[in-house]
Structure 1
Amino acid sequence: MIKNGFPEGAALIFGGNGGIGQGVALEFARTGVPVAVAYRSKADIANRIATQIRELGIKSSTHQVDVTDTAQVQATLDAAIETHGRVHTIVWAAGPFVNQRHISEMSHEDWRRAIDIEVMGFFNAAKAALPHLRAAGGGSFVALGSAGHLRWPDRDGLSVAPKAANESLLKGIAREEGRYNIRANSVLVGVIEAGMFPQLLEQGQFDQKWIDETMQMLALKRWGKPEDIGRAAVFLASENAAYITGQQLNVSGGFGI
């Protein structure tokens, strides 16, 4: 039975306790969708988000997981299914803290960590979820990508390049799994007043010149908010987007147009 654009079951959000992931989790809950919050660290934040969701009258659960560990990813999916009966949506919002470095300044360790968490982690989640989604009659993947896929942002390669690999994998999932009513799309994330951006500002990794230049490239003269990303993710996962797959929804305030 479809209710509020979703079947019975939950959205499993990897990185659901992150600055942007929190906003995504809450928007699913506001739509009436139960949420399984998967997190690596900062259990207090994950529990706070789960509590906020329950206060909305929506079921929620938390699951600690290292996404680079395939057994832990499978265990997280199994636990979410046991709790909620079904997982119909996988949201990929996980990722490491990324320092702003030119490609020439990246270390091998920086690159390996970014690939392990962003790319291997997403593959692990997709690999675990596909059999369940097939057996349940379909479902949806929504990954948070980067507006940098459309215009390269200097020094943000440790985020943009791994996410670009996921964009390609999403298209493959969309193509190969559509016959099972499984869809896969992404939200291209612009500058959002949450997550890493405030931390990078505080550390001085973005100076006033960067802020001024970036704001000039925005058609909408404000930074984005987590709920902007959350609403886009909910739309792509819902029946309102039932004939949309393999696509990117750019939520960046018109960055670069």
Structure 2
Amino acid sequence: MTALFPDGCALVFGASGGIGSKVAEVLATDGADLALVYNRKKDAAQTVASAAVAKGRKASVHACDVRDPASLSALVDSAVAEHGRVHTLVWAAGPLVEQHYLANTPLDAWRNAIETEVLGLIGATTALIPHMRQHGGGSIVHLGSAGHRRWPDRDGLSVAPKAANESFLQGIAREEGRNGIRANSVLVGVIDAGMFHELMAKGAFPDGWVEETQKALCVKRWGEAEEIGYAVSFLASARAAYVTGETINVSGGFGV
């Protein structure tokens, strides 16, 4: 069987989170070695690494503050030192998305979301591109929002920053395709993991939200984190070698 990934690793930001950890698990199952990036949850990232090693993959764990360019540069150097090459960047990082109507969203909340999600992705991508060019290319896969297809009330702190990332990655796809670098996104719907569980526990959604949201779905259930992983793995792999500047909406048909 032809390998789906070249030698080297997938650099997975947000690998300690509920969705990011499952994305990493699918990548390992499909044959990718991993450099797993966390901010605060070191133990969770190490658990993901141990599971990948049990599958026969190489896995390393790295701390990084994605808001700090020096931390991002050191991360790339560390991942390359461990694995020799980074062939894929997976962006699954982001803060807890508090639910506010746009007019009531505190400016500090916007600042935190943009610094982490937007400037973090831009910093990670620009830190890694010279390495990818040198090694004949690579793949960038961003976890976006199904809210780009239909605006969800009170979810602006997720949708708006990810929309900026979508625009940025369109530019990367345009400019870097000649260097063998592809950039794509998976639009994430309501996934029964991670942040969704935290928000439900906090009572962040109003009465009737579950019923109304499921009415907007073609597939009448929440998604599973592994289903995001399957789409990420495809876009990162050789099977998607002629795919760039695109999105896959993994949301049960939200927005149709």
Equivalent position of 1:212 in the other structure: 211
| Cα shift at 1:61 | 0.4
Equivalent position of 2:38 in the other structure: 39
| Cα shift at 1:4 | 2.5
Paired with 2:233 and 2:181, the residues of 1 have a C-alpha distance of 15
Paired with 2:55 and 2:7, the residues of 1 have a C-alpha distance of 17
| Cα shift at 1:174 | 0.2
Equivalent position of 2:232 in the other structure: 233
Paired with 1:53 and 1:230, the residues of 2 have a C-alpha distance of 14
Preserved CA contact (<8 Å) 1:20 1:93: yes
Alignment of 1:19-168 (within 5 A): 19-168=18-167
Equivalent position of 1:184 in the other structure: 183
Say whether residues 1:5 and 2:13 are aligned partners. Answer: no
Paired with 2:245 and 2:36, the residues of 1 have a C-alpha distance of 25
Preserved CA contact (<8 Å) 1:201 1:207: no
Give the secondary-structure state (helix, strand or coil) at the position aligned to 2:95: coil
User: Residue deviations 1:143-178, cap 9 Å, x none?
Assistant: 000000110000000010000000000000000000
Provide the aligned C-alpha RMSD in A: 1.0
> Structure 2 counterpart of 1:120, which letter?
L
> Structure 1 counterpart of 2:194, which letter?
G
Paired with 1:208 and 1:167, the residues of 2 have a C-alpha distance of 32
Preserved CA contact (<8 Å) 2:149 2:254: no
Runs of 4+ in 1 over 3 A off after TM superposition: none
Paired with 1:80 and 1:224, the residues of 2 have a C-alpha distance of 31
Paired with 1:71 and 1:256, the residues of 2 have a C-alpha distance of 39
Paired with 1:53 and 1:80, the residues of 2 have a C-alpha distance of 16
Preserved CA contact (<8 Å) 1:19 1:226: yes
Gapped regions of structure 1 (runs ≥ 5): none
User: Residue deviations 1:16-67, cap 9 Å, x none?
Assistant: 1111000110000001110110010111101111111111111100000000
Paired with 2:41 and 2:137, the residues of 1 have a C-alpha distance of 32
> Structure 2 counterpart of 1:220, which letter?
V
| Cα shift at 1:78 | 0.9
Say whether residues 1:18 and 2:17 are aligned partners. Answer: yes
Preserved CA contact (<8 Å) 2:4 2:31: no
User: Residue deviations 1:85-117, cap 9 Å, x none?
Assistant: 100000000000111000111111100000000
User: Residue deviations 1:123-159, cap 9 Å, x none?
Assistant: 0001101000000000000000000011000000001
Paired with 1:15 and 1:202, the residues of 2 have a C-alpha distance of 21
Paired with 1:33 and 1:196, the residues of 2 have a C-alpha distance of 25
Equivalent position of 1:195 in the other structure: 194
Q: Give TM-score scaled by structure 2 length.
A: 0.98
Q: Give TM-score scaled by structure 1 length.
A: 0.98
> Structure 1 counterpart of 2:186, which letter?
V
Paired with 2:209 and 2:30, the residues of 1 have a C-alpha distance of 36
Preserved CA contact (<8 Å) 2:12 2:89: yes
> Structure 1 counterpart of 2:162, which letter?
K
Give the secondary-structure state (helix, strand or coil) at the position aligned to 1:125: helix
| Cα shift at 1:207 | 3.5
Preserved CA contact (<8 Å) 2:146 2:255: no
Q: Percent identity?
A: 55
Give the secondary-structure state (helix, strand or coil) at the position aligned to 1:204: coil
Preserved CA contact (<8 Å) 1:17 1:46: yes
Preserved CA contact (<8 Å) 2:113 2:161: yes
